[in-house]
Amino acid sequence: MYEGRVEFCYGEVWGTVCSNFWDIPDAQVVCRQLGFNTIGTQAFNFAFFGQGTGPIWTDGVECIGTETKLISCHHTPIGSHNCIHLEDASVRCPAPPGKRSRCSWSVQQY
């Protein structure tokens, strides 16, 4: 599992995403964008993995879940929000597609 607070870089500055309307489709897009699997993705709000310290870049993220980039989803204009860092959004992503667990599916040959 890979998990943490969601931040993205805008104008050379890293900032967070407020978690109003933050849910699994949004987290799936983050995981996909980072090269992880999306099945089993979890979304967390209220700074579950700690608060950021930079700007809060956006809020009201509403992805369908199939987008390739978070910035393609509906969201408030950059810098427009009514949040504090206590509301920072986070995700937990399953392992990348190439990394299969020891117990993953296989075919036995006889």
3 belongs to the binding site for Ca ion (CB under 5 A): no
Q: What is the DSSP letter of 8?
A: E
23 belongs to the binding site for Ca ion (CB under 5 A): yes
74 belongs to the binding site for Ca ion (CB under 5 A): no
The SS3 call for residue 25 is helix
62 belongs to the binding site for Ca ion (CB under 5 A): yes
- Judged by CB, which is closer to Ca ion: 17, or 52? 17
Distance of closest approach, residue 58 Cβ to Ca ion, in angstroms = 12
Tokens of 88: 């920072």
Is residue 24 a contact partner of residue 41, using CB atoms and an 8 Å limit? yes
Sequence-distant (≥ 6) Cβ neighbours of residue 98 within 8 angstroms: none
- Judged by CB, which is closer to Ca ion: 2, or 67? 67
59 belongs to the binding site for Ca ion (CB under 5 A): no
Tokens of 51: 């608060």
Q: Which residues sit at the interface with Ca ion, rule CB under 5 A?
A: 21, 23, 26, 62
